[in-house]
């Protein structure tokens, strides 16, 4: 017996002989386990022993997890145990297609992990032969799994409000689907289910004046969520998720506000006095920067630069992720936008992570007779700024840089300097 606990040499080959830990007694049944290290060298045996024993512990843990009636846990345990044994988990129908040599290799891997017990082990059989059914995951359970497998990667760098806006459309889509079709298992979904859901949406479009885009968002969220769950859980199912969408008409456009309306109505003395100061400042900064409301909400004191030769805001995506890499930019402050920024040099803590900005501004404008039409909203100020830039003949590259849009042609150079852009914006400032 070697001084290294559990190592011994038998018939020229080093082995590990150790007592089965109490934790695993009820799933193994042996008093001792003998694991061959497949070497006659003590040095090699000492190097290999920790890894072989760790593999054995992991195999026991996988079997322990599979000692359950929970179909999901049993399926996961079989996959993990197969990986621990050194082969890929296959379903029984696929195992049946293996060559004799491949099947014998699987059985040999099991035997190498420890002497096979006299009684067949159902969890080992599930891992080796794939005789375990994929779990029946319902629609509601699929959404729960999606949060576990995808949320961390999908929401990295997002603010709490952005995470809420990422989650809620999926919650709504699944709630709608379950209301229409029922909480069916994914493997039981059939094309008629998708067609029934589309028909339900078509009725809503007629009765509620909604657009096909609303229905298609639900269908897209359901499809992307289920595909991710099926992929991450490696489920051998293929529910009908593609080819279902309602034809969309012309996309609803956000209307730009006219310069005359902005000057005569919105900037009239006292017109915005009833709007809270932070919401009012964000709206005024939008007028001459074209920045997105969410970008302005996230500004902090370090990103509102008032003491530079060219006062400006710097949109960097610190508190929340940016819509695209092009959204990172600096925009000069001019006119009423500069005045508003000077009144709020620390940013807008009230709306830092508050989704109510647009609703607050739109409601105020509507209730005070300040909307140019029922379809004009806060976001339209971004389009008004773009229209003024276009009318002033400002180059497309600079316009797209200001708005954080990608350029449709090949891009050369670094674009206009802050000073140059400032000179272009001064004549069109409100």
pLDDT, tens only, 213-267: 889 999 999 999 999 999 888 788 899 999 998 887 655 567 899 999 999 999 9
> 346 and 264, same structural domain?
yes
- Judge whether 1 lies within some domain: no
Residues contacting 96, CB < 8 A, separation 6+: none
Count of structural domains, the chain: 3
Q: DSSP character for 347?
A: B
- Judge whether 252 lies within some domain: no
> 318 and 343, same structural domain?
yes
d(CA 347, CA 343): 9
CATH of the domain at 290: 1.10.443.10
Residues contacting 29, CB < 8 A, separation 6+: 117, 119
Which two tokens mark 315? 């949109």
Q: Is 5 helix (H, G, I), strand (E, B) or coil?
A: coil
> 103 and 18, same structural domain?
yes
The alpha carbon dihedral of 388, 389, 390, 392 has a sign of positive
- Among 101, 129, 157, the domain-final residue is 129
> 176 and 115, same structural domain?
no
pLDDT of residue 125: 58
- Among 106, 129, 152, the domain-final residue is 129
Tell me how far CA of residue 257 lies from CA of 204, 271, 283, in angstroms: 31, 16, 12
- Judge whether 2 lies within some domain: no
Q: What is the layout of strands, in order, in the sheet containing 32-36?
A: 7-10, 13-19, 32-36
> 197 and 156, same structural domain?
yes
For residue 185, pLDDT over 50 is answered with: yes
- Judge whether 248 lies within some domain: no
Share the mean pLDDT of the chain: 81
Q: According to the per-residue pLDDT averaged within each range, which of 7-21, 71-85, 154-168, 262-276 is highest?
A: 262-276
pTM above 0.85, yes or no: no
> 305 and 191, same structural domain?
no
> 145 and 114, same structural domain?
no
> 123 and 151, same structural domain?
no
The residue segments making up the domain with residue 38 are: 7-129
**How far does the chain reach from its first CA to its final CA, in angstroms?**
90
> 414 and 286, same structural domain?
yes
Q: Which residues pair with 18 in a beta bridge?
A: 33
> 74 and 15, same structural domain?
yes
> 201 and 120, same structural domain?
no
Question: Is 49 within 8 Å of 16 (Cβ atoms)?
Answer: yes
pLDDT of residue 67: 47
């Amino acid at each position: 017996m070697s001084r290294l606990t559990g190592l011994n040499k038998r018939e020229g080959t080093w082995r590990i002989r150790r007592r089965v830990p109490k934790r695993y007694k009820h799933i193994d049944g042996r008093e001792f386990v003998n694991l061959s290290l497949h070497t006659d060298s003590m040095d090699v045996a000492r190097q290999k022993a920790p890894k072989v024993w760790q593999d054995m512990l992991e195999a026991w843990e996988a079997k322990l997890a599979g000692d359950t009636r929970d179909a999901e846990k049993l399926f996961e345990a079989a996959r993990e145990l197969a990986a621990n044994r050194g082969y890929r988990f296959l379903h029984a129908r696929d195992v049946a297609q293996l060559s004799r040599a491949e099947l014998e290799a699987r059985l040999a891997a099991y035997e190498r992990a420890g002497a096979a017990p006299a009684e067949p082990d159902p969890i080992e059989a599930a891992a080796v032969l794939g005789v375990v059914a994929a779990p029946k995951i319902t629609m509601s359970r699929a959404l729960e799994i999606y949060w576990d497998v995808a949320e961390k990667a999908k929401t990295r760098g997002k603010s709490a409000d952005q995470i809420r806006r990422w989650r809620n459309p999926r919650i709504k889509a699944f709630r709608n689907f379950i209301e229409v079709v029922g909480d069916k298992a994914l493997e039981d979904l059939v094309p008629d289910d998708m067609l029934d859901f589309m028909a339900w949406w078509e009725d809503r479009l007629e009765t509620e004046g909604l657009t096909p885009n609303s229905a298609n968002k639900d269908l897209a969220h359901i499809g992307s969520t289920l595909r991710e769950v099926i992929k991450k859980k490696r489920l051998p199912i293929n529910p009908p998720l593609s080819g279902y969408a309602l034809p969309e008409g012309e996309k609803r456009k956000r209307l730009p506000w006219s310069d005359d309306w902005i000057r005569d109505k919105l900037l009239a003395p006292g017109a915005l006095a009833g709007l809270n100061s932070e919401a009012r400042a964000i709206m005024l900064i939008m007028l001459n920067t074209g920045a997105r409301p969410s970008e302005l909400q996230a500004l902090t004191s370090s990103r509102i630069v008032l003491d530079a030769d060219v006062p400006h805001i710097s949109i960097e995506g610190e508190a929340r992720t940016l819509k695209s890499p092009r959204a990172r930019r600096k925009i000069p402050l001019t006119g009423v936008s500069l005045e508003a920024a000077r009144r709020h040099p620390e940013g807008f803590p009230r709306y830092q992570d508050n989704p109510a900005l647009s609703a607050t501004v739109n409601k105020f404008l509507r209730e005070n007779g300040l909307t140019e039409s029922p379809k004009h909203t806060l976001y339209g100020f971004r389009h008004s700024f773009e229209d003024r830039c276009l009318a002033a003949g400002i180059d497309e590259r600079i316009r797209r840089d200001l708005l954080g849009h990608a350029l449709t042609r090949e891009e050369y150079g670094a674009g206009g300097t802050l000073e140059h852009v400032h000179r272009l914006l001064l004549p069109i400032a409100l």
